[in-house]
Chains A and B, each alone.
Chain A
Amino acid sequence: MAHDREVLRMIWEGQIGICFQADSEEIVGLRPEPFYLMVSRLSYLPLVTDKVRKYFTRYIAAEHQEGAVWFDFNGTPLRLHYPIGVLYDLLHPNEDGTPWCITIHFSKFPEETLVKLNTKELLESHYLACLKEADVLKHRGLVISAMQKKDHNQLWLGLINDKFDQFWAINRRLMEPYNDQESFKNIPVRFYYDDDFTYMQKLISPLNEAGQKKNLADLMAELSTPVRRAVGFRTHGIVLPEETQLQWMSEHMSYPDNFLHLSVDYVTE
């Protein structure tokens, strides 16, 4: 059961300082000052950038003002449907604590690279699809399908309005093993490698063959091949201790989409 509430709180309160800049080619007239914002690591760019968009719209040529907004960091388009914390950790912009400078664009949406989830409705349907997928892995989908539409709404509203209690009142049910089980069936997890937006998904059981709970050291062994050895995991900007149990991690360190998003460090043998 997800009962280390302080950990859940700390994860929930993780924030990133972002400095939004305009695309100089889209600006008419005076160049606007950058826009600074603290955003939740757990949220998504389209959910937190209403104000940013409104601010820059005044400086943008009229024909682009209604365009689909997207963002890039040093030329890398940022996926709108990845949690902001995942984007930040993958790009690890600067370690010195200065704000993360990204550019906002109103035109030329890179349709072949970015999934166009630029409205709240589309993002919500994507988010629910992730929740469902995670629940299929954890409980064969039994918990989420027993929930009502209003529970799904409450999760989503809790996330977009940054309401911890509202969100966890429902999410708690998704984060408990089913019936009298000790653990989930599989751990919903996505593995990322450095500098790359691709991830790998695998069926990862929280238990080993002897029925004992696996920890990260076991997971390293599972992901290692004769040529490439997994040596470390990071998420939420934290390097994770080897002895952390997978089941505990899934319950406490998953993003609101119910997936663990782990960056894996490899060494080549």
Chain B
Amino acid sequence: MSLELNDSWQLIEKDNQEPNTFLKYNQKVKCEDELINVEYHIVYSISYQVPMLYLQAHRSDGGLLDIEATWNLFMPDAPRSDLYQMLTPMEHPVLFRPFMTLHPCRTGEILAQFGKQSKNRILTFISVYGPYVKLELSNSYGLIKDDNQRK
């Protein structure tokens, strides 16, 4: 399966093709309060055959947020025991550097619920999972999608 990426003025895109079917794509977003620089990567998981969201958060002094701090940033209210099941440290499958990732075990199921309506599984994926980690898509993405379909 190939992944199609819609480009936009809002995304800093960096495609990076490994010898395998890995496709990488990243985006930088600033979060308020402490001005934390979060880097999001959408990586295709060979095993699960779904996109996976990886992220890395740095403080303005360059320090990396550890898992506790990341949990606090995104999901301050969720119980710790649940978080171990959701957002955990993992090695980035392409870069082999430490990242945090959202567990992909249900992604397939969730994406399947959208049936044939979703022309772009990546967009659907980001809009479903993104808000949990403050990754918001601009509404104009919906329009871009329509444009593409009209063509």
Q: Which residues does A use to contact B, with CB under 8 Å?
A: 79, 81, 111-117, 121-122, 124-126, 129, 132-134, 136-137, 141, 188, 197-198, 200-203
Most B C-beta atoms less than 10 A away, residue of A81, A111, A115, A141: A115
Contacts A201-B47, A202-B46; is A116 near B103 (CB within 8 Å)? Answer: no
Q: B48 within 8 Å of A by Cβ?
A: yes
Select the stretch in B23-31, B91-99, B119-127, B143-151 that faces chain A: B91-99
> Can you pick out 6 interface pairs between chain A and chain B where the beta carbons lie within 8 Å of each other?
A112-B98, A116-B66, A125-B84, A125-B88, A129-B88, A133-B48
Contact between B47 and A126 (Cβ–Cβ < 8 Å)?
no
Given contacts A79-B91, A116-B67, A121-B84, whether A201 and B96 have CB atoms under 8 Å apart is no
- State in angstroms the CA–CA spacing of A150 and B124 once bound together: 35
Q: Which residues of A contact B96 (CB under 8 A)?
A: 197-198
Taking a contact as CB atoms under 8 Å apart, the answer to whether A122 and B84 are in contact is: yes
Provide the main secondary structure of the chain B interface.
Answer: loop
Complex interface: chain A residues within 8 A of B64 (CB): 111-112
Whether the Cβ atoms of A132 and B97 lie closer than 8 Å is no
Which residues of B lie under 8 Å from residue A198 when comparing CB positions?
A: 96
The answer to whether A113 touches B47 (Cβ under 8 A) is no
Q: Which 8 A-B pairs have the closest CB atoms?
A: A115-B98, A125-B84, A111-B64, A133-B47, A198-B96, A115-B89, A201-B46, A125-B88
User: CB within 8 Å of A: which residues of B?
Assistant: 19-20, 46-48, 64, 66-67, 84-85, 88-91, 93, 96-98, 103, 105
* Residues of chain B within 8 A of A121, CB atoms compared: 84
Q: Which of A111, A136, A141, A200 contacts B98 (CB 8 A)?
A: A111
Residues B20 and A136 in contact, CB atoms below 8 Å apart: no
Measured in the bound complex, the distance between the Cα atoms of B89 and A197 in whole Å is: 17
- What would 18 more interface pairs be, CB under 8 Å, given A129-B103, A137-B47, A141-B105? A111-B64, A111-B66, A111-B98, A112-B97, A113-B97, A113-B98, A115-B90, A116-B67, A122-B84, A122-B88, A122-B89, A125-B85, A126-B89, A133-B47, A201-B20, A201-B46, A201-B47, A201-B93
Task: List residues of chain A with CB within 8 A of the CB of B20.
Answer: 200-202
Which residues of A lie under 8 Å from residue B66 when comparing CB positions? 111, 116
Question: What's the least CB distance linking B72 to chain A, in Å?
Answer: 16
When A112-B64, A122-B89, A126-B90 are in contact, do A136 and B47 touch as well, CB less than 8 Å?
yes
The distance from the CB of A89 to the nearest CB of chain B, in whole angstroms, is: 17
Q: How far is the CA of A197 from the CA of B97 in the complex (A)?
A: 11
The chain B residue with its CB closest to the CB of A199 is B96
Instruction: State A181–B59 Cα separation when bound (angstroms).
Output: 51
Q: Which of B47, B66, B97 has the most CB of A within 10 A?
A: B47
Give B15 Cβ to nearest chain A Cβ, in Å: 19
Residues of B within 8 A of A136 (CB): 47-48, 105
Within the assembled complex, what's the spacing in Å between the Cα atoms of A133 and B93?
A: 13
- Cα of A198 to Cα of B22 in the assembled complex, Å: 14
Kindly state the separation between the CA atoms of A122 and B80 in the bound complex, as whole angstroms: 11
Contact A81-B91, Cβ < 8 Å, known A112-B64, A133-B47 = yes
B88, A203: Cβ atoms closer than 8 Å: no
Please pick, from B19, B48, B91, the residue contacting A115 in the complex, using a CB distance under 8 A.
B91
A129 engages B90 (CB within 8 Å): yes
In the complex, what residues of A have CB within 8 A of residue B105's CB? 132, 136, 141
A116 in contact with B47 (CB, 8 Å): no
Cβ contact within 8 Å between A122 and B67? yes
- Cα of A139 to Cα of B89 in the assembled complex, Å: 25
Residue of B nearest to A200 (CB): B20
